[in-house]
Structure 1
Amino acid sequence: MFALILRTGTVLAILGAFPNAAWAQQSEPTVSIVQQWLSSGHADAQSPSFRHWEGEQAIPGTCAMCHSGEGFRDYHGFDGSVAGSIEGLIAPGGVVDCATCHNDGAAAIERVEFPSGMNIDHPGSSATCLSCHQGRQSGGAVAAATGGIEDDTVDPGLGFINPHYAVAAATLFGSQVGGGYQYPGKSYMTRFQHVARFSTCTDCHDPHTLEVQTETCARCHGTESPRAIRTSEPDFDGDGDTATGIHTEIDGLKTMLLDAIEHYSIEVSGEQIAYVERYPYFMLAEGEEGAGSPYTAWTPRLLRASYNFAFVTGDPGAYAHNPHYALQLLYDSIVDLSAASGKQVEIGERPR
């Protein structure tokens, strides 16, 4: 086994043990690659993503797969254990190290299962990325939680269902993996198909810094600003402006949906809701008794729309990963909530 240890100031960054010593000796990472990795979120040992369990004996198995390189290897059986579960105790403090991706076993991953229970077969070089960037919930879980309850009835048994963070893979594959809550009778985009040259995660993201390689966008789109890119002509958010990038359309619908959520909470649920960019995300608004505490006046209709808002918000790159899937989720949520609360909205064309 071979491990590369780099000292930066007073911090020891352990990149991980390579599974193949001969390969490691022939391909020892250069200092520049190490520096690139150290600049990424995958290497940030001080991030809450890796420090959350500080002081505890082990990271819970359901979390360890993505919040520790050691846990990832255990889950996929790279360490010789049974694949699909974590048998060992995964101590806090690890990061997504080199051996998480640079592992002979990574190429052998034949299937990645998503929270919906749907699978992506033969994921290829994107298998490691898809394993973690998929969230922890699905639209199916929302449907199950709200089934059998009247759409506009506040039910104390309901609570916010958090899709989790960085759900890029679930956005990318759209209805193929069912990450968002999809309204019955509506059609939803499957995987967003870019050109063949840009079909894997590392075709667009640097594999070590994780940054988007924006210079590649300019070759076809004439701009190095991905947010300025727009290949769809219709006006989706109804503001009459079709010259902006699709990112702006998504932002416009997100603003409209949050407004619809707040209006519905007042008119139907009876307690005003407020969104905050931290756990628990939806809280009682200022002026309400118990303001600042988790929101509890959930109806099935409000929960479905709020889940979709959080799902799209959970992927800041949705405009590039699968813009039409994001737009469809937002659009349908706005229409559904507004009709129930009597709110008049000026909205554009539904994405196809």
Structure 2
Amino acid sequence: MVFRVFWKVSLCLGLALGASLSISASAQNAPTNEEILEAWLSSPHADSTREAFRHWDTEGEIPGTCAVCHSSTGVSDYLAAPQTMPGLIDHPVPIGTTVECSACHNDGAKDLSEVLFPNGTTVSTPNSSAICSVCHQGRSSSGQVEASVADMDEDIVSAEIKFINIHYAAAASTQLGNTARGGYQYEGRSYVGPFAHVETLGTCVSCHNPHDTRVKLESCTTCHQGAADFRAIRTTPLDILGDGNTTAGIGVVISQLHDQLNAAIMTYSQEIGGGAIVYSGAAYPYFFNDLNADGIADPTETVFPNAYKSWTPRLLKAAYNYQFVSKDKGAFAHNAHYVIQLMIDSIESLSEVATVDATGFTRP
């Protein structure tokens, strides 16, 4: 299969910039078309070799369930019609495109100010963030997890339970917190809403370059002076882990808490669930039977026929939250308190019936 050659993209740049989103500085400081093209070519959106754009090569078309976020044709079609389903269209589209100029520079994107999320909520979104939120929202929500295990005993294995995947890079759902309810939210617990950064960093493109998607550390160090990397930035004085350390970067704290949740999931699966479980972020469907119970995702284990199927409702909820955090690598910046709440609540839930230590946490 042959992807569009890049000189055609260069041509569309000149046409699209006249109707561009409000994402650049004044005209005299705006990047040239050549600079924009070079930036885009270095981005994941332009990499036609990625699985995200090659998965349907054999079929010859991309189904409407995937086309909106995996092709320029799909997202253009989605934006040209009323949003009735989040990120879905009712027809397949041809293979052969990536996320090109036309995906974000079209009349539908220009006028987009509200975005429908998987939990059924339509959110008013700044113009320069709306088009990003169409795809970077995930494909599921708390309500879908709850509905899938309704009226089931929390700790009884059921063959009817299937793992629910948030999908990739659900940054917009993370940022919106309780508004989008992208993580599984436990009954009786409160969750933070949208994370409001400083006024000058209030949209996707105020942090991310819109064409190469990168974030420059200097955009953060004006306030977070001395930070050597993003994960080193601390956004709360609370001792989240109860270890006396209140200076470690919030990204480090989230990573450590994520590891604790993984350990809790493995303990519960062996003590209460249907057998040892292991996670691999690089292999679908992500959770597998840990055949030798060593806690390591071996290549022989991370194959589809060995997918973990011994789910209980309690285990599914915790595993869903583990995956939610796994798939948003920038969660520490998008809404740190929200993902910390999700993980602490998941660990505490597992500790109710398994040998899991949930003491010492300070929940934001």
Distance in 2 separating the partners of 1:122 and 1:314:
22
Q: 2:186 aligns with which of 170, 183, 186?
A: 183
On the 8 A contact 1:112/1:123 being kept in 2, the answer is no
| Deviations 1:34-72, CA, capped at 9 Å, x for gaps | 111000000000010000101213101011000001110
Equivalent residue number for residue 306 of structure 1 = 319
Distance in 2 separating the partners of 1:184 and 1:205:
34
Shift of 1:28: 10
Shift of 1:286: 2.6
Distance in 2 separating the partners of 1:215 and 1:252:
26
- State which drifts further: 242-251 or 291-300: 291-300
Q: CA RMSD for the aligned pairs?
A: 2.4
Equivalent residue number for residue 317 of structure 1 = 330
Equivalent residue number for residue 297 of structure 2 = none
Amino acid at match of 2:230: P
Match runs of 1:234-313 below 5 Å: 234-277=238-281, 278-287=283-292, 292=302, 293-313=306-326
Match runs of 1:185-200 below 5 Å: 185-200=188-203
Shift of 1:104: 3.0
Task: Identify if the C-alpha distance between structure 1 residues 29 and 172 changes in structure 2 by more than 3 Å, giving closer, same or farther.
Answer: same
Shift of 1:333: 0.1
Equivalent residue number for residue 31 of structure 1 = 34
Amino acid at match of 2:290: A
Match runs of 1:67-216 below 5 Å: 67-77=70-80, 84=84, 86=89, 89-216=92-219
Q: 1:47 aligns with which of 37, 43, 50?
A: 50
On the 8 A contact 2:161/2:311 being kept in 1, the answer is yes
| Deviations 1:111-148, CA, capped at 9 Å, x for gaps | 21111111212432111100000011111100000110
| Deviations 1:72-117, CA, capped at 9 Å, x for gaps | 000111xxx6665636541112111012112233121132111111
| Deviations 1:235-284, CA, capped at 9 Å, x for gaps | 11233221110011111110110000000000001300000112111000
On the 8 A contact 2:274/2:311 being kept in 1, the answer is no
Q: 1:231 aligns with which of 230, 235, 243?
A: 235
Distance in 2 separating the partners of 1:338 and 1:291:
27
Task: Identify if the C-alpha distance between structure 1 residues 68 and 341 changes in structure 2 by more than 3 Å, giving closer, same or farther.
Answer: same
Distance in 2 separating the partners of 1:303 and 1:267:
15
Shift of 1:287: 2.1
Which stretches in structure 1 are left out of the alignment for 5+ residues?
Answer: 8-12
Task: Identify if the C-alpha distance between structure 1 residues 169 and 69 changes in structure 2 by more than 3 Å, giving closer, same or farther.
Answer: same
Q: Does 1:340 align with 2:340?
A: no
Distance in 2 separating the partners of 1:324 and 1:158:
29
Task: Identify if the C-alpha distance between structure 1 residues 122 and 265 changes in structure 2 by more than 3 Å, giving closer, same or farther.
Answer: closer
Which stretches in structure 2 are left out of the alignment for 5+ residues?
Answer: 20-26, 294-299
Amino acid at match of 2:315: L
Equivalent residue number for residue 24 of structure 2 = none
Distance in 2 separating the partners of 1:341 and 1:308:
18
- How many residues align? The count is 338
Distance in 1 separating the partners of 2:11 and 2:68:
15
Give the % identical residues.
43
Distance in 2 separating the partners of 1:232 and 1:284:
37
| Deviations 1:141-188, CA, capped at 9 Å, x for gaps | 000001100100111100111110001010000010110100011000
On the 8 A contact 2:83/2:116 being kept in 1, the answer is no
3-state SS, counterpart of residue 61 of structure 2: coil
